[in-house]
Each structure stands twice: as structure tokens, then as C-alpha cells.
Amino acid sequence: MGMTMTQKILAAHAGLESVKAGQLIEAKLDLVLGNDVTTPVAIKEFKKIGVDKVFDKDKVAIVPDHFTPNKDIKSAEHCKMVREFAHDKDVTNYFEVGQMGIEHCLLPESGLTVPGDVIIGADSHTCTYGAVGAFSTGVGSTDMAVGMARGVAWFKVPSALKFVLKNKPAEWVSGKDIILHIIGMIGVDGALYKSMEFAGDGLQYLSMDDRFTIANMAIEAGGKNGIFPVDEKTLEYVKEHSQKTPVIYEADEDAEYDAVYEIDLSTLRPTVAYPHLPENTKTIDEAKGLEIDQVVIGSCTNGRISDMRIAASILKGKKIDKNIRCIILPGTQKIWLQCVEEGLATIFVEAGCAFSTPTCGPCLGGHMGILAKGERALSTTNRNFIGRMGHPESEVYLASPAVAAASAIYGKITDPAEV
Amino acid sequence: MKACGTVFKYGDNIDTDVIIPARYLNSSDPKELAAHCMEDAIHSTVPFAANVKEGDIIVAEKNFGCGSSREHAPIAIKASGISCVIAKSFARIFYRNAINIGLPILECEDAANDIEMGDKVEVNFDTGVITNLTKNKTYQAQPFPQFMKEMMAAGGLIEQTKVKLGLK
């Protein structure tokens, strides 16, 4: 029986000819990631193991991005602990404030994630790197600690769902709309313990940024990972950003899937997920008109340059509604600078938006845009759980940057086609 | 090994933001996290942190622990004194975090369907038998795979790693 793309990558990293779904393996890691929330717990566990060094100082990445620039004294203490550990262990890829970005925007841009890699990260959205054809999955702090010590992790080999994306997406339909549509279709545990493997002629119309967004939210369907085949766009991206050598794996033709879904991208509509689960999706036609208090454009899901460009194309020459706070957070320092150089930052500020240094900040209710009781946000982030962005009685609606920018102008959920 | 306690019952898709809201993640101290455990389970009739006692048990429906990978979630539950979490299914990162830190978890659809808030429940980890002392009923949970049993017996992933590295 053939293997899926994920299974092939895992087999190669476990030193096995083949693996099958359900098998428990130990696989070698190409990268171990942590942030300022999860690394402090990992450091405590790492110290318990009793090793002096990390397994490979070039294969650990630590990105303080959640509560940075430090939001309070306790966060500052955590960041200090993380900084001292990174320095003490001579971690090559430690990114200080000023160089850091949102981890899942930053690592691919820094060339640390390439096709064929096995990557774990103590952050659930580590699944983002499936966009470049890597096996990449979120774990907890103890896994991070053991990964840093030994360079291996245990995995149960996942079975897979195949999503065949067909045709060219309709106008204003982005990677975000595609993944929200999929989560709405299969539910927040529709891919539980499984790989989500993407295929089909529709992939040629998806930019790398679209693919990052889609892979990023595999976890919101419960998926272990989301993964794209490696094509010319992938190789071009990797060549531009990385010195590492890509290793290309393809699913076998006779690979087994638990289910195959065909999605005609030309029929999709911009999609909005209602509180309090990403599966509560409605089309823009059903959602438009709902009044909002805040718009957030950014995050590991939608903080990349194409997200900034589309938001700017809609906000150009416009003013946001006087009752709206619109907070824009580019994902990395490089993207921030691109926004300045391309004139996007000027458009945002002239429209009345706040334009911030990179941080996860409001996405997880950390800082930089917390909601009061009863307030409602439309956000390009990834979760709309109870209390996610602030008060337990606030609400978060998830959408694409285009819908978010259009909605900021009118103070209510708006179809970008109608701006 | 057995656990016995009063049940806190929850529904589907209890996410890790509800288990431990991010506003408390500027701490990694288990006791401090436990003080805010389940704080955003705003639809629950029994406030968790104020009522939980050593040995109590959480029972939930499907996809318990979905969302963020924060290990603070199982840490907060464990530090609250919870002896076992029973659910129809667990989100995968929560599942591995619980195993890695030695918080006992069991998948059992029948138990999750039948057990109610406040029931007294006993769990036998060796047999996977869950006994509802209030309703005088038993349910059979999926036993742990051998791999998991070995890790739990070693005292979690860190202790097992020490053995593998010859540090213990």
C-alpha cells in the first residue's frame, strides 16, 4: 500500500522503509521551535533532563512574539528567562525584539523551513510550514524540551484526508476563505489526529501566502498537519529565502485516504466564522451588515505582505468608520519595512488605522487590542473561542484581510466587492 | 491504580483558552494557573476553581483541549487536584501533553454520555473500568496503548528521556 506525503516524510526521518497509519515512531527533527509563552515551561523541563547542551544549536528556534514587546513585568521575567537560556545554549536562531516577527511568518521568511523537513513547535500553529511541503506540527513544552535535548520526537503516524482544490478562486476569495470553508464543512474536529493533504489544479492559483494561511489553520480542524505538494512556486520561494536544500516528497498514487473532498474554488464566497468556533461559518452574503467595534488585520494566519497589500488596496484614499478601532500588525520586521517602502503604511495611517510592530498581541487576548465586555471584533486571526481576544462576553468573527479592511470602512461586516 | 472523585461535567470542544485564558499565561507557576483553571467556562453551573477538591474528575464530550498547544492547560488541571479527565475524544496536542506530563486521560463515549455534573465516579486505570457510584453503572474506556503505559509508568516523557540518555 502506498504512503501519503506526510507518511513518506515521517518514514524517512524515522529511518524506516515505510510506515502506516497508527504506527508509533520516533523521528529525527530538523527544527524545534518555541515562543515566550511555551519556552519558559520547556526550559524548566529541559533542566530536569540534565543535559548541558541543546542537540544542535542551529536547529532550535526561539521567537519571543506573544507578549512582546514585554506587556507587563511577569512577561518581561519570562522573556528574560528565555533570552538567558538562548544565550547560554548559544541558540543560533533566537530572534530578539527588533529582529523578531510572529514566529510562523518569520521562520519561513528566514529560510529555516524547507520542503521535506520534520519540524515541531511549542505553538499549535506550527502546522503553517506544511505550505512549503514540510511535516510540521504543534506540540507542548515538554515535547519541545525533549526535542531540544535529543533532536527527536514521538509520533503516531497519521492517516489523511485529501482536499482536491479545483479551478480558479472566485474574486475576493483568498486562502483564508478556502480554509474557513473547509473547517465549516468538516468541523473543528473533522481532521482530528489526521493529516490534511491538499492537491488539485486549483493549487496553481494559490500564492505561497495563501498556502501559509491554509496550512496554518489545519489545527482549527483538529488536524495534525496540513501539507501542500512542492511545485515551482514553492521552490522559487525556498530559493529566494533559504540556503537549505529542499527534499521533495510526493504522495504515492495508491496512497490511502480516510476521505477525499473535492472543492470547486470558483464557487466559494468570502467566508466569515461566527463565535465561538471556527466551524461556525457563513458566507459574506449572510454575514454582511453586522456591526463591529474593532478590526484586527495581522497574525500568523494573515500578517504577510500580500495580506497587507490587499488591505491597503481597499483602504487607499478611504477613512475607516469613526466608531471602529482598526489595528494592523505586519508579521515581521521585513514585512513592516515593505509596508513602509511600498506606501502601505501611509495608506493605513491616513485611513485612521493603528500600524504596529509585529506581535501576536490581540489574537490571543494578550495585549494591543483587548476587547471589553460585549464588544465585537472582526479579525483576520485564527480563533474565535470564548474570551479569546479579551472579556469572556466579547465576540470575535474571523475573516480575510479583504473583508476586514472593507468592514473597517463601514463599521459593519462588508463584502469587499461592494466598497 | 485508581482515582475517585466528584465530577465536573463539560460539553463539546472545551478549548485551552477556556481551560486557562491567555491573560494568565504570563505565569508558568502551576498553583497560579490552577487558581484560574476553567475560568472562562462561563456556561458551567458550578464554578471550577472555587469548588474543585483533590481527586475530582473532569468529564467532557468531544474534542476536549482543542486550540492552543499551551501545556499550561493540563498543568492547571493537574495542579487543581484533578485525578483524571474522561472525554469522548481529545484534541491531539492536549492528548500528548497530558500523557507527557502524567495527567491520566481516558476516552469513553458511554461515560461521557451518561455521567452528569456532581456524580461520584471511580476510575480503575489498570482495567479502564469507570464506575459511576451515584448512578450505580459501569463503563469501559479504551485502554492505553503499550507505548503510553510505558511512558506513564516511567513518570512521563522527561523521566523516560533521562533513562534513554543514561542520566538515570
Give me the DSSP letters along B26-89: T---HHHHHTTTTTT-TT-SS-HHHH--TT-EEEE-SSBTBS---THHHHHHHHTT--EEEES-
Identify the pLDDT of residue B168. Answer: 85
Whole-number Å distance between alpha carbons of A70 and A36: 10
- pLDDT-above-70 percentage for chain A: 100
Taking each continuous run of H as one helix and of E as one strand, the counts in chain B are 8, 7
Look at residues A80, A84, A69, A225 and name the one whose alpha carbon lies nearest to residue A161: A225
Least confident of A19-33, A50-64, A113-127, B153-167: B153-167
Tell how many helices (H) and how many strands (E) occur in chain A: 14, 18
Q: Decide if pLDDT at B143 tops 80.
A: no
Hey, of B12, B15, B19, B25, which one would you mutate to test binding to chain A, going by the most A CBs within 10 A of its CB?
B25
Q: Which residues of B touch A193 (CB under 8 A)?
A: 92
- Predicted local confidence at residue A49, as pLDDT: 97
Identify the band that residue A195 occupies on the pLDDT scale cut at 50, 70 and 90.
very high
Cell of B64: 476536549
Tell if the CB–CB gap between B93 and A40 is shorter than 8 Å: no
Q: CA distances (Å), A130 to each of A104, A115, A225, A227, in order?
A: 11, 8, 7, 4
Name the residue facing B40 among A24, A48, A392 (closest C-beta). Answer: A392
Q: Does B64 touch chain A (CB under 8 A)?
A: no
Q: B66 and B58 in contact (C-beta within 8 Å)?
A: no
Q: What is the pLDDT of residue B145?
A: 76
Whole-model pTM: value is 0.98
Mean pLDDT, residues B123-140 taken together? 95
Average pLDDT, chain B: 95
Cell numbers for A345, please give them: 503604511
Cβ-contact B52, B8 below 8 angstroms: yes
User: Is the ipTM, as predicted for this complex, more than 0.95?
Assistant: yes
Task: Say which amino acid occupies A111.
Answer: G
Residue A113 is classified by DSSP as -
Q: pLDDT band for B151, please (50, 70, 90 cuts).
A: confident
> Between A73-88 and A39-49, two packed helices, what is the crossing angle to 10 degrees?
40
Q: What is the pLDDT of residues B6-38, one digit of tens each?
A: 999 999 999 999 999 999 999 999 999 999 999
Q: What per-residue confidence (pLDDT) applies to B152? A: 80
The end-to-end CA distance of chain A, in Å, is 52
Closest Cβ–Cβ partner in B67, B75, B100 for A143: B100
Rounded Cα distance, A277 and A196, in Å: 19
Interface membership of B23 toward A (CB under 8 Å) = yes
User: SS3 for A52?
Assistant: coil
pLDDT, tens digit (0-9, with 9 covering 90-100), for A310-369: 999 999 999 999 999 999 999 999 999 999 999 999 999 999 999 999 999 999 999 999
Q: Give the C-alpha separation, B35 to B24, whole Å.
A: 10
**Contacts with A340 (C-beta within 8 Å, 6 or more apart), sequence order:** none
